[in-house]
Amino acid sequence: MASVFTMIIDGELPGRFVWKDDRCVAFLSINPLAPGHTLVVPRDEIDHWIDLDAVLLQHLMEVAQKIGGALNIGFKPAKVGMMIAGLEVPHTHIHVVPMAGEHDLDADSADLAPNPDDLDAAADRIRAALRALGHAEVTD
């Protein structure tokens, strides 16, 4: 059975995409740790990040860095954090999160019922920042 991320990538479930290329996508978390929390996900369904080939891992990190730059512009956080946890969905994904402090990477603080309008606004801010940075992979 396909992972929830594969179903989002394939359009079977909705997602607020901000980036698409031939190897990965990035979309907002439905349970954000902070406004703008974005997931960078390979199109290939690979459970554990240590099983990624080096080229794909490098690409995911480069995209996460670009997303982080957009979050920095769009949200002006103290820092942009990144983590790979992967326990909740068996499909590698990188969390890229605007942070005020390390507590912003605590999964127990996730918003389990975010306002859809706030998620849409966050996605729009990220897309605008990515476009300003010259990235053609931005989605609408």
80, 97 Cβ separation under 8 angstroms: yes
Is position 93 annotated as part of the catalytic site? yes
Q: Which of 59, 93, 95, 135 is catalytic?
A: 93
**Residue whose tokens read 């439905």:** 30
Tokens describing residue 4 = 């929830």
- CB count, 10 Å around CB of 96? 26
- Cα(82)–Cα(89) distance, rounded to whole angstroms? 17
Judged by DSSP in three states, 28 sits in: strand
Residue among 98, 115, 94 nearest 26 (CA): 94
Catalytic positions, please?
93
